[in-house]
Chains A and B, each alone.
Chain A
Amino acid sequence: MPKVDDIARRHYGRLLAWLAAGFRDVAAAEDALQDAFAAALRRWPSEGLPNHPEAWLLATAKRRLLDRLRQRKVSDAFADDLRHTLTEAEDAVTWTFPDDRLKLMFVCAHPEIEAALHAPLMLQTVLGLDSRRIADAFVVSPSAMSQRLVRVKAKIAAAALAFEIPEREALPRRLDSVLQAIYAAYTSAWTTTPDAQTRGLAGEAAYLTQLCVDLSPGEPEALGLLALIQFCDARAAARFAVDGAYIPMDEQDVTLWDRGLIAQAEATLDLASRNLTLGRYQLEAAIQSAHISARRRGVPPSAVLPLYRALVSLHPSLGAWTGYAAALVQAGEIQAAKQVLDDLGEDRMRLYQPWWAVMAEVATQLGDTASALRAYDMAEGLEDATAVKAWLRQRRSRLLQ
């Protein structure tokens, strides 16, 4: 008999999305669904697994929600409407419920909700992660994270945010908030965690991206983000040595890269480009693709520069500019790299670790040892990951030999 846990993982997001979309209250839907799972844990081991576990869970959760409706004395029209919708799920034999997870994601990344909570909310509602694990990933105290999520769900209910797929014109912008949240979760997990076991939320973020692609087929930026994640995941095994030491891309063992996944990423990117709407994620994926080709086929590192120029003109974020500076260093254009970093300005970039890491390399190559030592200290001091700290320290120590 499959474990209730497995069923929860497979169905949680879909069940919650469907209940929340019908009831327009994420917190109430969560409570009802948790009660349903608790009932399943109690009853399935002795009574046996129902034929359609998800329909059983849905019907049980539905009864809870109807109880709540009665207590609330909500307007009759709304209650009838909901009863009607929910009845379709009752004792389902062949009925499959619609996948409303994309609607749930749009609500989680709604403009009314603080951007920093978009990803945590999606991870909790779509994937069912507990707030403790989410707090860990975002380096927030677990009680603070849990309070924030409770508050934001109250806001969703109070403001009656619509569970819907936005109109065609609004779709790219709204989808962008969803993708941005996933991207932030993925990159923070990617940069700070050393190995496959402790990759933190990278896997979950990749799953959410795949879900966006499945639920909004052909959206070029969802595909672009998926390609980007696939390119990064393909290199995961080569990023750290057996002893845990960090290995930068230009020193990675290319034979450890996952060629199948790289081919998949190329295909995803190709699919994205058919729409002829360029976007930041497609460009970032194309940059990864160019980096990989540079290593595997000896394409000169300068080949990536036009892609970076396109990225900074389309999406001039601090990260994009810093990435451009790093690419200029690799292409041997040190003065140009320094110019980009100086234009960004130390004051603005003081807390931005990658800026210092690139600056350390630039100063080293320009023979400015004092600036390089300082920049390495800043880059190391601002870095989370122990392995990357050690790598920076090693680079720094070469200046003193």
Chain B
Amino acid sequence: MQYALIISETPEGFADRTNAQAGEYWGGWTAYSRAIVESGIFAGGAGLEPPETAARVVFDGASKTVQDGPYPDARERLGGFFLVEVDSLDDALAWAKRCPITKGGSVEVRPVLPTPPQAG
């Protein structure tokens, strides 16, 4: 089964990407990615630039407006995600627990939706 590991980090976590802790930050994620790939479970994923680089389209009734990031609605922000092919939710959670997050955050584990039935 495929699961998404949706990784959220705090502003302090994002700061570690470029400050004096950058070596450890990237070292941790490189090791983690390597373990995922070499274990043969990697099915996709990407790290994401910080939320300040984002823009989003908000759908509200008939109107569609464009906003620049970051958005004030949450302290934790999406930092990246993996798609992994594992046997069970337990296995996916075990991988989530290994994420090198050191400044707070979360890893949401969600099953990937199966392909919807073809219409007609």
**Is B one of A's binding partners?**
yes
Does B100 interact with chain A (Cβ within 8 Å)?
yes
B 83-112 contacts with A by CB, 8 A: 89-90, 93-94, 97-98, 100, 102
B33, B89, B90, most chain A CB atoms within 10 A: B90
Q: 8 closest Cβ contacts across the A-B interface?
A: A381-B35, A380-B31, A377-B31, A381-B31, A377-B34, A381-B32, A393-B27, A382-B35
Which residues of chain A are near B27, meaning CB under 8 Å?
380, 393, 396-397
B35–A386 touching, CB < 8 Å: no
The tally of residues in A whose CB lies under 8 Å from a CB in B reads 22
Does A339 interact with chain B (Cβ within 8 Å)?
no
CB distance from B38 to the nearest CB of A (A): 6
Does A126 interact with chain B (Cβ within 8 Å)?
no
Does B39 interact with chain A (Cβ within 8 Å)?
yes
Does A384 interact with chain B (Cβ within 8 Å)?
yes
Which residues of chain A are near B31, meaning CB under 8 Å?
376-378, 380-381, 389, 392-393
A144–B88 alpha-carbon span in the complex (Å)? 11
The tally of residues in B whose CB lies under 8 Å from a CB in A reads 22
A4–B100 alpha-carbon span in the complex (Å)? 41
Does B28 interact with chain A (Cβ within 8 Å)?
yes
Which residues of chain B are near A396, meaning CB under 8 Å?
27
A380–B23 alpha-carbon span in the complex (Å)? 14
Q: A350-B38, A351-B39, A377-B34 are in contact. Are A386 and B100 (CB under 8 A)?
A: yes
Which residues of chain B are near A397, meaning CB under 8 Å?
23, 27
Which residues of chain B are near A377, meaning CB under 8 Å?
30-31, 34-35
Does A141 interact with chain B (Cβ within 8 Å)?
yes
Which residues of chain A are near B35, meaning CB under 8 Å?
377-378, 380-382
Does A196 interact with chain B (Cβ within 8 Å)?
no
Q: Mark B24-54, 1 if CB is under 8 A from A, else 0.
A: 1001101111111011100000000000000
Q: Which residue of B lies closest to A356 (CB)?
A: B35
Q: Which residue of B lies closest to A144 (CB)?
A: B89
CB distance from A137 to the nearest CB of B (A): 11
Which residues of chain B are near A374, meaning CB under 8 Å?
34
Q: Mark A96-121, 1 if CB is under 8 A from B, else 0.
A: 00000000000000000000000000
B89–A384 touching, CB < 8 Å: no
Does A139 interact with chain B (Cβ within 8 Å)?
yes
A386–B34 alpha-carbon span in the complex (Å)? 17
CB distance from B34 to the nearest CB of A (A): 4
Does A140 interact with chain B (Cβ within 8 Å)?
yes
A392–B100 alpha-carbon span in the complex (Å)? 12
A381–B34 touching, CB < 8 Å: yes
Q: Mark A361-401, 1 if CB is under 8 A from B, else 0.
A: 00000000000001011101111101001101100110000
Between A and B, 30 residue pairs with Cβ closer than 8 Å are A139-B94, A140-B93, A141-B93, A144-B89, A144-B90, A350-B38, A350-B39, A350-B40, A351-B39, A374-B34, A377-B34, A378-B31, A378-B34, A380-B28, A380-B32, A381-B31, A381-B34, A381-B35, A381-B36, A382-B35, A384-B98, A386-B102, A389-B31, A390-B24, A392-B31, A393-B24, A393-B28, A393-B31, A396-B27, A397-B23
CB distance from A351 to the nearest CB of B (A): 6
Identify 17 new A-B residue pairs, CB closer than 8 A, beyond the known A374-B34, A378-B31: A139-B90, A140-B89, A141-B89, A141-B93, A350-B39, A377-B31, A377-B34, A380-B28, A380-B31, A381-B32, A381-B34, A382-B35, A384-B97, A386-B102, A393-B24, A393-B27, A397-B27
A390–B24 alpha-carbon span in the complex (Å)? 8
A350, A351, A381, most chain B CB atoms within 10 A: A381
Q: A139-B94, A383-B98 are in contact. Are A389 and B38 (CB under 8 A)?
A: no
Q: Which residue of A lies closest to B102 (CB)?
A: A386
